[in-house]
Chain A
Amino acid sequence: MAQEMIEGINPTRMELLKLKDREKLAVKGHSLLKEKRNALIMEFFNILERVKGSREGVEATLQEAYKDLSDAQMVMGDLAVKKSAMSVKESVNVEIESRSVMGVVVPLIESEIGQKNMVQRGYGFLETSVKLDEAASKFEESIKLIIELAEIEKTIMLLAIEIESTKRRVNALEHIIIPKIENTVKYIEMRLEEMERENFVRLKMIKKTMEME
């Protein structure tokens, strides 16, 4: 069987010791990375539970919101809706913290998006329609959902990237680097034993010739 080995290694005791150290390190690194990968995948499954259906939820709420908005535009006219929208007070307050999952920094969003009543929104009552109120409250709801979804999707994305690269490293260590080192160690050990035997035979031969003289 053709075995992969590290090339350009001299079969000496020095190299053997060095290689054994490297092997130990590689095995340790491999088990650590494996743990990291498992932890990341567990985290990933947890977050997958949360993403289920939340995109559909956002889409459904938005559909309703758009419908109410176009109703409002029909009743009041484009311009009036635009004017009212301009006078709505800024109310979306987002605070971003970050949290670290096995070294991956993922965002944590605290959002304060209060559902407001008509008075707090800041547009006048006279020239606005009920549909506008409905649209506004639907949009407030959707914004809340969207921001939640943004956090989840971003987290999934970052975790996925990290999992992929960890997986690749684990596999590289497991299937390429560690076997390569093992084979090289075996080769050096074999060569050293062979050299010992050769030496032994040589000594015997010398002894014999000396005795014959």
Chain B
Amino acid sequence: MKSNVAVMADEDTVIGFRLGGIKEGYPVKNMEEAGKVLEDLINKDFSVIITTEKIGIEFRDTINKLTNERALPMVIEIPDKSGSIKRESDPMSELIKRVIGVEMVK
């Protein structure tokens, strides 16, 4: 199955990924816009959606609801240019802890 990668992020990030060769860039200015674009993108045929951590945190519930059951699209959150957000608990290691029952050193 051939499919595409989309980037939804702030303008600079989108430009960066365009330079890297992803044409499907959707620059968003504020969170309201991001919400709308996100839903659009999830319903389109993208297989990977790259977004920033800030947007990810804002729409955690939507993303989880829309992507948990399906294998596609994958939504991946990356830090934007101000650097990664220091979170108290990384959702990934939280999940691993819950499943295995012991803390894994990542």
Describe B's contact surface by its main secondary structure: mixed
Assess whether A154 is in contact with B92, with CB atoms less than 8 Å apart: no
Contact B20–A140 (Cβ < 8 Å): yes
- In Å, the complex CA distance between A81 and B45 comes to 29
A88 to B: closest C-beta gap in Å? 6
A41 to B74, CA, bound (A): 22
Are B15 and A90 in touch, CB under 8 angstroms?
no
Q: Do A157 and B21 have beta carbons less than 8 Å apart?
A: no
Number of interface residues of B (CB under 8 A): 38
Bound together, the chains give a CA A139 to CA B20 distance in angstroms of: 5
Whether B47 lies near A94 (C-beta < 8 A) is: yes
What CA separation (Å) do A143 and B79 show in the bound complex? 13
Contacts of B62 in A (CB 8 A): none
Query: Is A129 in the interface zone, CB < 8 Å from B?
Result: no
Question: In the assembled complex, which residues on chain A have CB atoms less than 8 Å from the CB atom of B83?
Answer: 63
Q: Does A190 contact B (CB under 8 A)?
A: no
Q: Does chain A have a CB within 8 A of B65?
A: no
Interface residues of B in 33-49 (CB under 8 A from A): 47-48
Quick check: B92 and A153 within 8 Å, CB to CB? yes
Using CB atoms, name the residue of chain A closest to B105. A52
Q: Is the CB of A158 within 8 A of B16?
A: no
Chain A interface, >50% SS class: helix
Chain B residues with CB under 8 Å of A63's CB are 79, 83
Is B3 an interface residue, CB under 8 A from the partner?
A: yes
Contacts of A185 in B (CB 8 A): none
Would you give 18 A-B contacts (Cβ < 8 Å), ordered by A? A59-B78, A59-B79, A62-B78, A62-B79, A70-B12, A85-B16, A89-B21, A92-B5, A95-B3, A98-B71, A105-B71, A109-B48, A136-B20, A139-B20, A140-B20, A142-B78, A156-B92, A163-B99
Q: What is the interface of chain B, defined by CB distance below 8 A to chain A? A: 1-5, 12-13, 15-23, 47-48, 50, 68, 71-72, 74, 76, 78-81, 83-84, 92, 95-96, 98-100, 104, 106
Given contacts A90-B23, A135-B16, 20 further A-B contacts (CB under 8 A): A41-B100, A52-B106, A59-B78, A59-B79, A69-B15, A69-B16, A69-B19, A70-B81, A88-B23, A89-B21, A91-B21, A92-B5, A94-B48, A138-B20, A143-B21, A147-B5, A154-B74, A156-B95, A158-B71, A160-B95
